[in-house]
Structure 1
C-alpha cells in the first residue's frame, strides 16, 4: 500500500513540477507581455484613465465605488500622474525581465496592473484577467533562480532542477482551467459541434484584422479549425496529464492556435498572455535541447537526482498555506461559474459568471460599430470618433473604426449604459474643442448592426442611442 501511495505521489509530483528554466522563460515572457500592455495603454491614457476622458473618477465612483477606493490610478485625475504610474510599472517589468529583486518586481507589477485595471474595468477582456492571474501565481514561485541577476551567474547553485508545490499546481491549474471551462461552455452550443463557429467568428468585421480578412472565406479550413480547436479544449487536461515529448508536442498545438489568433483577430494581449502561460508546461527535455542549440548556461543540480516527490521546495509555511487556499478557490470559483456547484447566498455576479467564455457558447452573430455624427458651430458634420467628415455608409474595416480592442470594449459597454454614453459624448466634445477653432455643439450616438448571414446577403440596421449637447462648446 505504501509503495502504491509513493508511486501516486511521484506521478503527481512529476506532472506538477516545473523546470527552473521554464520558470525563468515564463518570467521573461510575463515581463514582456506587461511591457506590451503598458505600451498599448499609453496612447489612450488620457481617454481611459483621466477625469478628462470617457470615465472620470466621479463616474467610476458611481459605477464601481469599491474599485475607485482602492485603485492607485484613481488618486488623481491628471494625465501626468498616470504617466508616473506607467513609468513605475515599466520599471518593475524591466526588473522582472532581467530577474532583479524578482519577487518584489513581480509583486509591484501585479499591484500596479490590478490598480490600472480597477481604474477602468470597462475596457478589460479575458487576456487582462489571465495576465493578472499568471502574475499572481508567479509571485509565489522562484522566477529568479535561473537566467537572472538574482541568480548571480551561478547556474548550479540550486539544489534541484525543478520546483513542485501548491504554487506550481496553482499556476498549471490556472492555465488548464481557462481551456477546460471554455470547452464545457462551447459544448453547450450546437454551432461548435457543426463546425460553423469559427466561420461566424471570422465574419465579425469588428474583430478580424491582418490575415483574418484573407481566411474568412476558407470554409473547409475554418470548419476543420473549429473542430480542431474544440478537440484541443476538451483534451486540455492532458497538458498536465502528459509528460516528456508528448506534452511538448501538445503544448505546441495550443501555441500554434494562439499564434493564429494573433495574426487574424483583434484580441489585445490575450494571445500573448496565453502563449506565456504555456511556457511553464514545457518539460526539461525541451530546455536541455534549447540550451544545447543556443549555447546557454547549463543548469546542473549540485546534488544527486532524487524522486521529485522528495524535492518539494522549502517555501515558507505561510506562503504555502496562501497558495493552497488560492488553488482551492480557483477550482470552486470556476465550478460556480459553470453551474457545477451552487453559489452560496450573497455570491457576487462576477463570481457566478466567471467561466472564461471567450466566443462561447457561440460567437456573436453580428458585426456592430458605433457612429457619432457631430454638429459644429460652422454647420459642418464630422465623425466625433475619427474626426473625418461624417459618412453614414458601412466602413470597409470596422475594426479600424474602433481603433483597438479597449475602445471596442468601452463602446460595447456604452451601448447598454446611458451614463457611459453621456460620458463618452462629453469626452468626444472636449477632445475636439481643445484642438479646433470650429467648436462641436452636439454629438449623436448611433448603433449600426450587421447580422451575419453565412451564405446570404447582409443588411445594416441603425439604432439611435441618444443626442448630447456639448458642455465644452
Structure 2
C-alpha cells in the first residue's frame, strides 16, 4: 500500500460521522428550530408585521432585495406570519421524527432563512450557525437511523457516513472556533486573562448565575485562559478520534452549557451544543443504545432516498457540497484577513460572523430608556410599561427582554429610521391596550463604562423625541 493510502484512510476516519450521531444531530436540530420558533412567537407582531418595528417598506429601504427574497414579506398581517410559523413547526416536527427527512430539512431551511431575512436586525451568530447547520443537514442522510424513514440496521451498508457533506459540516463547526481563536489571540485582554471578567460585567448580557459569578476574579481569569486554550485546540475536534475526541467535545459542551446558564445569548449556546453532536464517536452511541430501553431501530421498510432514485440529484448534491465547502474556507480566510476580498464583494460576505467577544468584549453596559408622557400627564417607561424611573435598572437584561430586542435596540441607536419606527410601535402598543393614551415618547441610550478597578462612569445620549401619531 502506498503512503498516500494510509493517509487518506486516516483522513476519511476523522471526517466520517456515525449514522447515530447524524440521527441525534437531526433530533437536536429540530428541537432547536422549534425552540427558536417558540421564542419568536410572542414578538411576531413586533418583529414581523407592518405594525411592528420593521414594516416591509422600511425593510426594503434598509435591505434592498430582502423583501423579495423572504416568504414572510409577502404579507404584513399577523395571521399570515403565524401561519408560516405553524408551517415551520410542522416541518420541524417531521424532521424530529424523521418523516420524509430530507424534504422536512429543506422546508425547515427555506422557512428559517425566510424568517431571518424578514428581520435581520434581531439576529446574532447563533442564528447564522443554525441556518448553516440546517443547510449541511439537507445534504446528509439524517433519516438513516432512529427515524420513521429508516428501517433495520442491516438496511444500510455502513455505520458511518463520509464525504464532502460530512467534511463541510465538521469544517463549519471547527471554523467557528478556529476563526474566533485567531481574532482573540490578537487582543491583549484575552492573553492577560481579563476578557471573561469584562464579559461578566456586561449587565445587558448576564442573567441567572452570571450575576453570581461576576465577582469571582481568579476563577474568571482561569476561565478566560481555559476557553482561549480550547479555541486554539479546536482543530483537534477533527484531528483526534475515540475517547480523546469525546473528551474535547465534552469540554466545549461544558463551556456552552455555562454560557446558557449565565448569559442572554439567544439560541447561540443551544445551537453550539447541537453543532458538537456529529463529532461524538461511535463508542458514545454504543453506550447510549446499550444503556437505554428505547427501540432505536424502527420496524419499518426504509424509504429509498430521492437522490438514489434520481442519480443526477446525487451528483448535484456532491457538487453543491464541494462548492459550499470551498466557499466556507474562502469566506473565513477573507474574514480573518488571510486573503483579500475581490473588488465589489458585499460587506455581508467579508464580515466575521464568529467574532463574539473578540478581539475583546465590549467595555460598557448599555440600555435603552423610553420615558413617555400620557394624556393624563403621567410618566411611564414605554418599553417596560412601568412607571418611569430614571435610576439604573437592577437587571439590565430584563429591561431588554430578549436577545432579539437587545440587538434591535443596538441597531436603532445608529439608524434614525429605526428609532422613528420603534417610537411609533411603542405608542401603538400602549394605546392599543390602555384607556389613557400616550402622547409623546423619548428615546435615550445610557452607557455605563466598565472599570474593573474603579467606579463605573455613566453617560446618557438623547436619541430623539417623538409625538405619537406623528412619528
Report the TM-score range of the alignment, normalised by the length of the smaller protein: over 0.9
User: Partner residue of 1:185?
Assistant: 183
3-state SS of 1:148 partner:
coil
Deviation at 1:290, TM superposition (A): 1.5
Q: 1:322 aligns with which of 301, 320, 328?
A: 320
User: Partner residue of 1:139?
Assistant: 138
Deviation per CA, 1:183-241: give whole Å up to 9, x if none: 00101110000000000000000000000000000000000000000000011000000
User: Partner residue of 1:73?
Assistant: 72
Flag the 1:342–1:80 CA change in 2: closer, same or farther, 3 A.
same
Q: How does 1:228-267 map to 2 (within 5 A)?
A: 228-267=226-265
Deviation at 1:440, TM superposition (A): 0.8
3-state SS of 2:146 partner:
coil
3-state SS of 1:467 partner:
strand
User: Partner residue of 2:305?
Assistant: none
C-alpha distance in 1 between matches for 2:42 and 2:453: 39
User: Partner residue of 2:302?
Assistant: none
C-alpha distance in 2 between matches for 1:336 and 1:472: 45
8 Å CA contact 1:446–1:465 kept in 2: the answer is yes
3-state SS of 2:445 partner:
strand
User: Partner residue of 1:168?
Assistant: 166
Q: How does 1:253-292 map to 2 (within 5 A)?
A: 253-292=251-290
Q: 2:419 aligns with which of 415, 418, 421?
A: 421
Q: How does 1:52-451 map to 2 (within 5 A)?
A: 52-152=51-151, 154-297=152-295, 316-451=314-449
Runs of 4 or more, structure 1, over 3 Å off, are 295-299
Flag the 1:298–1:416 CA change in 2: closer, same or farther, 3 A.
closer
8 Å CA contact 2:210–2:263 kept in 1: the answer is yes
Deviation per CA, 1:4-61: give whole Å up to 9, x if none: 1111110110000000000000000000000000000000000000001000011001
User: Partner residue of 1:453?
Assistant: 451
Most deviating of 407-416 and 286-295: 286-295
8 Å CA contact 1:429–1:472 kept in 2: the answer is no
C-alpha distance in 2 between matches for 1:45 and 1:62: 21
Aligned length: 459
Unaligned runs of 5+ in 1: 300-312
Deviation at 1:296, TM superposition (A): 4.6
C-alpha distance in 2 between matches for 1:196 and 1:295: 47
C-alpha distance in 1 between matches for 2:113 and 2:268: 16
Deviation at 1:294, TM superposition (A): 1.3
User: Partner residue of 2:34?
Assistant: 35
Unaligned runs of 5+ in 2: 298-310
C-alpha distance in 2 between matches for 1:147 and 1:99: 7
Deviation at 1:155, TM superposition (A): 2.6
TM-score of the two chains, using structure 2 as the length reference: 0.96
Deviation at 1:156, TM superposition (A): 2.3
3-state SS of 1:151 partner:
coil
User: Partner residue of 2:8?
Assistant: 9
Deviation at 1:459, TM superposition (A): 2.5
Deviation at 1:472, TM superposition (A): 7.1
8 Å CA contact 1:338–1:355 kept in 2: the answer is no
Asked if 1:462 corresponds to 2:460, the answer is yes
3-state SS of 2:387 partner:
coil
User: Partner residue of 1:308?
Assistant: none
Deviation per CA, 1:332-378: give whole Å up to 9, x if none: 01101111010000001111112510000000000000000011111
Deviation at 1:460, TM superposition (A): 1.6
TM-score of the two chains, using structure 1 as the length reference: 0.95
Aligned-residue Cα RMSD (Å) equals 1.5
Deviation at 1:165, TM superposition (A): 0.2
Deviation per CA, 1:235-285: give whole Å up to 9, x if none: 100000000000000000000000000000000110000000000000011
